[in-house]
């Protein structure tokens, strides 16, 4: 099994999980068929600032499919702020998944919420799942869901989302420290929009196609450095600086050279997880499957 390693040589995430779960789910975003057969579905509902994602696993924990829709104004900084809009956006995901699978979705669902928000605010995510006709059997902190997707139990998970950069320290898969600060993928889009004098939507498309716009990466370096500074400050504040591996998830940091910039700014190695867009939604479905199928192992 190949695995990413920290500077000290400690294996800190299971690369087989990337190859068997995250990579197929990301490929399935553009597919027209199910990845696996199923009898029962375990559904992960992820309400991100930029994207709303639905992931389906079968009774063996194998990926069945994933769909994604822009979140629009329904979510801000990882929190559902427009309930009806969130319901309608996720319903689009459900409709797309049902067309792909050629049958109505029947199963149980779970959702996740950013660390540090109130219980009442977190429950809104579960309410959206229930409004769509599914029993919400799990409501998890996003970093714990990510840890299940990657079998990453001890270290720092940095979630670069649309609106914020969040850092969570995990010990044995549970959050022991968390913080969240403004600066995310949306800020990168705003930088491009201002520098190139184009509207936000065009700048967003250019950012999403950054592999073909590599000349724009230097414009985004200061934003990446700000993210790195956020991470470093909270690692120092928490007392974990230099003591834990750092793994980045979320779509906001998917840029050429991002690992190098973040590592240089933080002062220790920062690894960006492959297929970072799928980590949290896959983790939601995985944790649900683990808990409700009676399978104690990932």
Do 47 and 93 sit in the same domain of this protein?
yes
**Token output for 232:** 């470093």
Do 97 and 200 sit in the same domain of this protein?
no
pLDDT of residue 246 exceeding 70, the answer is yes
Residues 6+ apart with CB under 8 A from 238: 169, 177
Do 222 and 240 sit in the same domain of this protein?
yes
Do 102 and 20 sit in the same domain of this protein?
yes
pLDDT of residue 217 exceeding 60, the answer is yes
Residue 45 lies in a domain: yes
The torsion angles phi and psi of 178, rounded to 5 degrees, stand at -150, 150
Residue 116 three-state SS: coil
In 3D space, the residue among 206, 245, 248 whose CA is nearest the CA of residue 227 turns out to be 248
Task: For Cα atoms 268, 15, 69, give the angle at the middle one, nearest 5 degrees.
Answer: 90
pLDDT of residue 77 exceeding 80, the answer is no
Q: What is the tens place of the pLDDT at every residue in 141-178? A: 999 899 899 989 899 999 998 888 989 999 988 899 99
Winning range, highest mean pLDDT, from 7-16, 69-78, 275-284: 275-284
How large is the average pLDDT for residues 41-70?
95
Sign, CA torsion 50/181/211/31 = negative
d(CA 98, CA 32): 11
pLDDT of residue 184 exceeding 80, the answer is yes
Residue 5 lies in a domain: no
Per the listing, tokens 């956020």 go with: 230
pLDDT band, very low/low/confident/very high, at 296 (cuts 50, 70, 90): low
In 3D space, the residue among 266, 186, 168 whose CA is nearest the CA of residue 226 turns out to be 266
Residue 298 lies in a domain: no
Higher-pLDDT residue of 208, 83: 83
Q: Return the pLDDT at 255.
A: 83
Do 126 and 199 sit in the same domain of this protein?
no
Residue 165 lies in a domain: yes
Residue 37 lies in a domain: yes
Winning range, highest mean pLDDT, from 89-98, 215-224, 245-254: 89-98
- The pTM of this model reads 0.89
- DSSP for 144-200 reads HHHHHHHT--SEEEEEE-SSEEEEEEEETTEEEEEEEEE-SHHHHHHHHHHHHT--H
**Token output for 260:** 């190098």
In 3D space, the residue among 263, 252, 269, 282 whose CA is nearest the CA of residue 18 turns out to be 282
How large is the average pLDDT for residues 32-54?
93
How large is the average pLDDT for residues 116-143?
92
Instruction: Count the domains in the chain.
Output: 2
**Token output for 170:** 């995990």
Residue range of the domain that includes 163: 155-272
Higher-pLDDT residue of 70, 214: 70
pLDDT band, very low/low/confident/very high, at 105 (cuts 50, 70, 90): very high
Residue 126 lies in a domain: yes
Q: Return the pLDDT at 161.
A: 85
pLDDT of residue 2 exceeding 60, the answer is no
Higher-pLDDT residue of 164, 199: 199
Do 193 and 79 sit in the same domain of this protein?
no
d(CA 161, CA 51): 9
Per the listing, tokens 């990466």 go with: 217
Quote the mean pLDDT of the chain: 89
Higher-pLDDT residue of 1, 266: 266
Please say whether the beta carbons of 85 and 198 come within 8 A: no
**Token output for 90:** 């996720």
**Token output for 59:** 């009774």
CATH number of the domain within which 265 lies: 3.30.420.40
């Amino acid at each position: 099994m190949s695995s990413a390693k920290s500077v000290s040589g400690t294996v800190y995430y299971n690369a087989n999980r990337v190859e068997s779960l995250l990579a197929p789910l990301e490929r399935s975003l553009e597919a027209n068929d199910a990845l696996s057969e199923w009898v029962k579905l375990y559904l992960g509902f992820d309400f991100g600032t930029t994207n709303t994602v639905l992931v389906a696993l079968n009774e063996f924990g194998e990926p069945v499919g994933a769909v994604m829709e822009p979140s629009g104004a329904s979510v801000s900084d990882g929190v559902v702020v427009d309930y009806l809009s969130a319901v309608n956006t996720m319903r689009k995901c459900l409709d797309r998944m049902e067309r792909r699978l050629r049958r109505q979705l029947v199963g149980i669902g779970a959702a996740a919420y950013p660390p540090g928000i109130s219980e009442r605010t977190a429950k809104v995510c579960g309410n959206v799942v229930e409004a769509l006709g599914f029993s919400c059997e799990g409501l998890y902190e996003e970093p714990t869901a990510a840890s299940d997707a990657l079998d990453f139990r001890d270290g720092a998970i940095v979630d670069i989302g649309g609106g914020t950069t969040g850092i969570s320290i995990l010990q044995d898969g549970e959050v022991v420290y968390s913080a969240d600060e403004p600066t995310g993928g949306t800020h990168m889009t705003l930088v491009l929009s201002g520098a190139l004098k184009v509207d936000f939507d065009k700048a967003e498309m250019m950012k999403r196609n950054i592999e073909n716009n590599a000349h724009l990466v230097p414009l985004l370096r200061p934003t990446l450095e700000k993210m790195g500074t956020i991470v470093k400050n909270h690692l120092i504040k928490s007392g974990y600086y230099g003591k834990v591996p750092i793994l980045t998830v979320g779509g906001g940091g998917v840029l050429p050279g991002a690992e190098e910039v973040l590592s240089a700014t933080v002062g220790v190695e920062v690894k960006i997880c492959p297929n970072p867009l799928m980590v949290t939604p896959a983790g939601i479905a995985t944790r649900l499957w683990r808990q409700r199928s009676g399978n104690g192992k990932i």
